[in-house]
Amino acid sequence: MTAIAPPVAARRTARARADRRKQGWVRRTPLLPALVFTIIVTQLPFLLTLYYSLQSWSLVRPGSEHFVGFANYVDVFQDSQFRTTALNTVIMTVGVVLIAMVLGVALALLLDRKFLGRGVVRTLLITPFLVMPVAGALVWKTVMLDPTFGIVNFILRPFGIGHFNWVGSLPLGSVMIEMIWQWTPFMMLLVLAGLQSQPTDILEAASTDGARPLQIFRELTLPHLRRYIELGIVLGAIYVVNEFDAIYMMTQGGPGISSANLPFYIYQRAFLGFQVGQAAAMGVVVVVATIIIATFALRLIFTSFSGTEQAA
Amino acid sequence: MTSADITTAATVGSATAAPRRVVAKRKKQRNSITWGIVGWVVGIIFFFPVLWMVLTSFKTEAQAYTNTPHLFFTPTLSQYRTVFDSGLWPYVANSAFATIVSTLLVLLLAVPCAFALSLRPVRKTRDVLFFFISTKMLPVVAAIIPIYIAARDLHMLDNIFTLVILYTAMNLPIAVWMMRSFFLEVPHELLEAAEMDGAPLRRTMREVILPVVAPGIAATALICCIFSWNEFFFAVNLTATQAATVPVFLVGFISSEGLYFAQLAAAATVATLPVILAGWVAQRYLVRGLSFGAIK
């Protein structure tokens, strides 16, 4: 008896293991096409970028590529234009995301109240986000901000700023105005979703207990909104850091590089300067910086969201 | 204190409470009117650039170039005629093709993937999910050089299928996360009941899962369409004449000699309209798509 049992059991566990492995593959198969596709299209180019960043290579001179080690990286960190555009990127991202968030919270609080035609106003408010970024930038550059014929200067004329050359004198600011206009609805939508998920009974209890509206907002609403605001800031920052369309359409990064951000500067280096190696090295630097900042932030936020989902 | 005192005190109390309630109600009404006015003013301010674009597109160039903007004028369709005569159609066709084909591909890949990450979860589900979302964080500018060189060497520059592939990769993470959030809404009891009845997977799919998930598929498709239609960076770098999309057409207006505001506004209106309409229709799901399904 005891002599036979182990082999049978062993055979049984072996079969069970094989079964489980087969089951695993049955479960995994639907996932694989998407995973493989994504790895090939998004990760492979990045590996190539890493490789190119170690080469000296001009696109217009075929056969010019040769290995230069980390020389491109040394160039990148000595390049004052790289530093300027990096600073522009930070100013643009922080400015746009924060201002859009403040406006977004204000608009969301407004839309959280009942008034006539609220649905229509909501629709009007989300529209800027839907506008094709290239078209939005074009509209802002011309019919809105044109020094002579733009409507913004027409409205400001009574205040004595009738002929201000927005895009010319304030290139970075003009691009940021356009982007804030596009991103405020995004923030508003996320915050509004947060406001509407707020349990009303607690708010009512607080107001019958005699809490003032401002007090309720600071001590109940704002803590509840925190993770929605964080999510909006992180997601908004991911998109805004990579902004290209508005800069391309409104200023071409100019004058000089005064309104260029890193993506635009890298694009210029690669496609107008044809410096593949240097552009690739800059790309790698940007990617590493993004990964460091974003991984932590994203994990934090999505963990907080899935955590409460399970608790609910 | 007698009981009569108490009752009179009570009636007095209720007598003052009634008018107070009326006052509160009137105050609430007045508040709602005030907020209504503020809401409409703010809404119109934010919508104004779009409105102004549409209005300008119905003007003549002479009306568009005035120091005092005209709010009332006799509309003309001549700008639209010019825009369509200047060869907009091939660009619209390219945009539509890239948008529709990439969206179909995204659904084909994302729906089974989201299924494997939700209802029948594989091991390391979290890692796979975070891998997908992390690809959205890679700056596209870091990938454009190898993509450009690969497309050139494969003779795929200025080819609409290059854009189809890239747009599919661009939207896949959003679609996977979003579809997963819909799959997770399928009631567990129904799934278990179907499994106990020994229903084959295909029937469970059709009768239990699909009804819950179908609106999610539609919403995901709309979100993907919006992003593909509006995409500019890949389009401007990888296409020239054959495969150029609508945003590239708009660039032509900036670089061509002289700006024609009214004509440009007409082109921008045509380019923007499909997505604005799609977005209005998908409003309810917009937040969900934008937050990768994190917010319902």
User: Using CA atoms, how far apart are residues A265 and A249, in angstroms rounded to an integer?
Assistant: 14
Residue A100 pLDDT: 97
Q: Is A65 helix (H, G, I), strand (E, B) or coil?
A: coil
Q: What percent of chain A has pLDDT over 90?
A: 35
Record: contact B291-A130, CB cut-off 8 A: no
Chain A residue with CA closest to B133: the answer is A298
Prior bond of B49 cis (ω within 30°): no
Residue A103 pLDDT: 96
Per-residue pLDDT at A14 exceeds 60: yes
The set of residues, in sequence order, having a beta carbon less than 8 Å from that of A171 and lying 6+ positions away, is A250, A251, A254, A255, A258, A259
Q: Is B108 helix (H, G, I), strand (E, B) or coil?
A: helix
Residue B8 pLDDT: 45
pLDDT tens, position by position, B48-84: 999 999 999 998 887 877 777 777 788 888 889 888 8
The CATH code belonging to domain A70-311 is 1.10.3720.10
Confirm or reject contact between A198 and chain B (CB < 8 A): no
Q: Structure tokens of A282?
A: 């800059």
User: Using CA atoms, how far apart are residues B33 and B30, in angstroms rounded to an integer?
Assistant: 5
Record: contact A38-B173, CB cut-off 8 A: yes
Residue B44 pLDDT: 94
> Helix H segments across B58-124?
61-64, 78-85, 89-116
Q: How confident is the model at residue A210 (pLDDT cuts 50, 70, 90)?
A: confident
Identity of residue A143: V
* Integer Rg of chain B from CA: 28
User: Using CA atoms, how far apart are residues A47 and A52, in angstroms rounded to an integer?
Assistant: 9
Angle (CA) A48 A51 A55, round 5°? 130
Q: If you average pLDDT over residues B199-216, what whole number do you get?
A: 82
Residue B10 pLDDT: 46
Count Cβ atoms within 10 A of the Cβ of residue B128 and give its class: 0-12 exposed, 13-18 middle, 19 or more buried: buried
Q: Structure tokens of B26?
A: 């009137």
Range of A5-9, A148-152, B65-69 with top mean pLDDT:
A148-152
Q: Structure tokens of A119?
A: 């649905």
- To test the contact with chain B by mutation, choose from A26, A37, A42, A282 the residue with the greatest count of B C-beta atoms within 10 A, namely A42
**Total-model pTM:** 0.86
Quickly count: other Cβ atoms within 10 Å of residue A156's Cβ.
Answer: 14
Residue ranges per structural domain of chain B: 3-57, 80-290
Residue ranges per structural domain of chain A: 5-37, 70-311
Q: Which of A274, A132, A241, A72 is nearest to B141 (CA)?
A: A241
Q: If you average pLDDT over residues B160-186, what whole number do you get?
A: 92
Distance from CA of A187 to the nearest CA of B (A): 10
Confirm or reject contact between A103 and chain B (CB < 8 A): no
Q: Which of B44, B115, B142 sits opposite A283 (nearest CB)?
A: B142
- To test the contact with chain B by mutation, choose from A25, A114, A124 the residue with the greatest count of B C-beta atoms within 10 A, namely A124
Q: Which residues of A touch B237 (CB under 8 A)?
A: 267, 271
Q: If you average pLDDT over residues A129-153, what whole number do you get?
A: 90
- What are φ and ψ of residue A54, in 5° steps? -100, 5
Q: Which of B229, B254, B280 sits opposite A138 (nearest CB)?
A: B254
Distance from CA of B148 to the nearest CA of A (A): 10
pLDDT tens, position by position, B97-150: 999 999 999 999 999 999 888 887 777 888 888 888 888 877 888 888 899 989
Range of A261-275, B52-66, B155-169 with top mean pLDDT:
B155-169
Per-residue pLDDT at A3 exceeds 60: no
Q: If you average pLDDT over residues B215-223, what whole number do you get?
A: 90
**Global ipTM:** 0.84
Contact A128, B38 (CB under 8 A): no
User: Using CA atoms, how far apart are residues A278 and A57, in angstroms rounded to an integer?
Assistant: 8
The set of residues, in sequence order, having a beta carbon less than 8 Å from that of A108 and lying 6+ positions away, is A187, A188, A189, A191, A192, A194, A195
Per-residue pLDDT at B254 exceeds 50: yes
Contact pairs from chain A to chain B, CB under 8 Å: 296
Confirm or reject contact between A117 and chain B (CB < 8 A): yes
Which of A175-184, B24-33, B252-261 has the least mean pLDDT? Answer: B252-261
Record: contact B251-A189, CB cut-off 8 A: no
- Report, in this order, helix, strand and coil percent for chain B, each rounded to 5: 75, 0, 25
Per-residue pLDDT at B249 exceeds 50: yes
Q: If you average pLDDT over residues B240-251, what whole number do you get?
A: 91
Q: If you average pLDDT over residues A149-164, what whole number do you get?
A: 84
Q: What percent of chain B has pLDDT over 90?
A: 37
Q: How confident is the model at residue A56 (pLDDT cuts 50, 70, 90)?
A: confident
Distance from CA of B264 to the nearest CA of A (A): 8
Contact A130, B275 (CB under 8 A): yes
Distance from CA of B179 to the nearest CA of A (A): 13
Q: Which of A282, A220, A215 is nearest to A49 (CA)?
A: A282
Q: Which of A192, A291, A191, A195 is nearest to A232 (CA)?
A: A191
Record: contact B176-A34, CB cut-off 8 A: yes
- To test the contact with chain A by mutation, choose from B58, B141, B180 the residue with the greatest count of A C-beta atoms within 10 A, namely B141
Reported CATH class of domain B80-290: mainly alpha
User: Using CA atoms, how far apart are residues B219 and B283, in angstroms rounded to an integer?
Assistant: 9
Record: contact B46-A132, CB cut-off 8 A: no
CA distances from A148 to A173, A197, B69, B203, B256 (A): 19, 47, 11, 66, 20
Q: Which of A144, A141, A166, A165 is nearest to A155 (CA)?
A: A144
Per-residue pLDDT at B3 exceeds 70: no
Alpha-carbon B294 to chain mean position? 16
Distance from CA of B135 to the nearest CA of A (A): 7
Residue A24 pLDDT: 74
User: Using CA atoms, how far apart are residues A220 and A222, in angstroms rounded to an integer?
Assistant: 6
pLDDT tens, position by position, A184-195: 999 999 999 899
Contact B192, B273 (CB under 8 A): no
Per-residue pLDDT at B9 exceeds 50: no
Pairing of strands A55-56, A66-67: antiparallel
Record: contact B115-A30, CB cut-off 8 A: yes
Mean pLDDT score across all residues of chain B: 84
Residue A30 is classified by DSSP as G
Q: If you average pLDDT over residues A39-48, what whole number do you get?
A: 90
Chain A residue with CA closest to B255: the answer is A249
Higher pLDDT, A6 or B43: B43
Q: If you average pLDDT over residues B217-233, what whole number do you get?
A: 92
Q: Which of B114, B264, B236 is nearest to A143 (CA)?
A: B264
Record: contact B116-A280, CB cut-off 8 A: no
Sign of CA dihedral A70, A74, A75, A77: positive
Residue A113 pLDDT: 87
Residue B54 pLDDT: 93
Residue B4 pLDDT: 47
DSSP characters over A251-281: TTT-STTTT--HHHHHHIIIIIS-BHHHHHH
Mean pLDDT score across all residues of chain A: 85
Q: If you average pLDDT over residues B197-212, what whole number do you get?
A: 80
Q: Looking at the DSSP assignment, which residues form a beta bridge with residue A56?
A: A66
Count Cβ atoms within 10 A of the Cβ of residue A177 and give its class: 0-12 exposed, 13-18 middle, 19 or more buried: buried
pLDDT tens, position by position, A234-254: 888 888 988 999 999 999 987
Residue A161 is classified by DSSP as -
Q: Structure tokens of B27?
A: 């105050």
Sign of CA dihedral B75, B76, B77, B80: negative
User: Using CA atoms, how far apart are residues A167 and A250, in angstroms rounded to an integer?
Assistant: 7
Q: Is A58 helix (H, G, I), strand (E, B) or coil?
A: strand
The angle that helices A80-111 and A171-196 make with each other, rounded to 10 degrees, is: 40
pLDDT tens, position by position, B136-158: 877 888 888 899 989 999 999 99
Q: If you average pLDDT over residues A149-168, what whole number do you get?
A: 84
